[in-house]
Amino acid sequence: MNMLKPERIGLDDFADQPVHVCGKAFVAHKSGALFWPAEQALIVSDLHLEKGSSYAAYGQMLPPYDTRETLQKLAALIDRYDPETVICLGDSLHDQGGAARMDLGDVESLRLLQEDRDWIWITGNHDPKIDRMLAGYVMPEIVVGGIALRHEPRPGAHTHEIAGHFHPAARLVFHGTSLRRPCFVGNRLRLVMPAFGAFTGGLNILNAVFEPLFGDDGLDVWMLGHEGLYPVAPRLLRDD
């Protein structure tokens, strides 16, 4: 009788989805990370490490564990994909003093993740400089396989680009219930990645700032869920 039972769908079966940018094949993960198999590279954006401690300095108390949570999530992806290179697309630190505020245990965890692989910090508007204590290579942007990897998307309808900065999010409304989640958004010519950090918010992709990036080329949207990454038809999206 066991032979007649349908195979069960695993909880991790929809954890990632294929994504293409200018003919290059990537794998987008429900965590908000992007894996590039041909380059053996894991790409993440907007970690905003030490955001909690930054807010605390101004009297707004947040749980001080965002850095640890973000690094643990990143460690799980490194275990999953075993990349040769990790590329962080800017705003990896919430501010330039973030590295100095990091717990020594978190710094050691980061160094363990960096072992035996190249680690590239792309600078962002929050972290135009990266403290040397965090090791790795520091660059304003990098071009790999003809694809520019940078923090902030270039204005206008550029192609061959993967960026972050805007923390894209999508909103759906169905049966009287509203669902708003971070998302990947692209048009097969460029891609904007969601923020990876634990305390990062999101900007609705129907906001006017996204229109110049994609114009009338149409949108591909993948919403991050707890159990998977889900493609969403743009006609179902709603503004905030």
Q: Which of 97, 85, 77, 90 is nearest to 32 (CA)?
A: 77
How many helices (H) and strands (E) the chain has is answered by 5, 16
HSE (CB half, 13 Å, CA atoms) of 61?
0
Mean pLDDT in residue range 169-174:
93
Largest alpha-carbon pair distance within the chain? 64
- Indicate whether 85 pLDDT > 70: yes
φ and ψ at residue 193, rounded to 5 degrees: -95, 150
The CATH topology of domain 18-236 is: Purple Acid Phosphatase; chain A, domain 2 (3.60.21)
Q: Identify which of 15, 16, 25 has the alpha carbon closest to the alpha carbon of residue 162.
A: 25
Find, among 138, 205, 193, 124, the residue nearest to 164 by Cα: 193
pLDDT of residue 121: 98
Helix (H) or strand (E) holding 108, with range, is helix 104-114
**Is pLDDT above 60 for 51?**
yes
Whole-number Å distance between alpha carbons of 236 and 234: 5
The residues near 5 (Cβ < 8 Å, ≥ 6 apart) are none
Six token digits for residue 28: 């987008």
- How many Å apart are CA 70 and CA 57, to the nearest integer? 20
For the question of whether the overall pTM of this predicted structure is more than 0.85, the answer is yes
Q: How confident is the model at residue 201, as a pLDDT?
A: 85
Q: What pLDDT score does 8 carry?
A: 46
DSSP β-bridge partners for residue 130: none
Separation between Cα atoms, residue 219 and residue 211, nearest integer Å: 10
For helices 104-114 and 66-81, the axis angle rounded to 10 degrees is: 20
- Domain spans of the chain? 18-236
Predicted local confidence at residue 95, as pLDDT = 87
* Mean local confidence (pLDDT), 120-147: 95
pLDDT, tens digit, for every residue of 56-77?
Answer: 556 555 666 799 999 999 999 9
Residue 157 has pLDDT above 60, yes or no: yes
pLDDT of residue 10: 54
**What's the whole-number mean pLDDT along residues 198-212?**
92
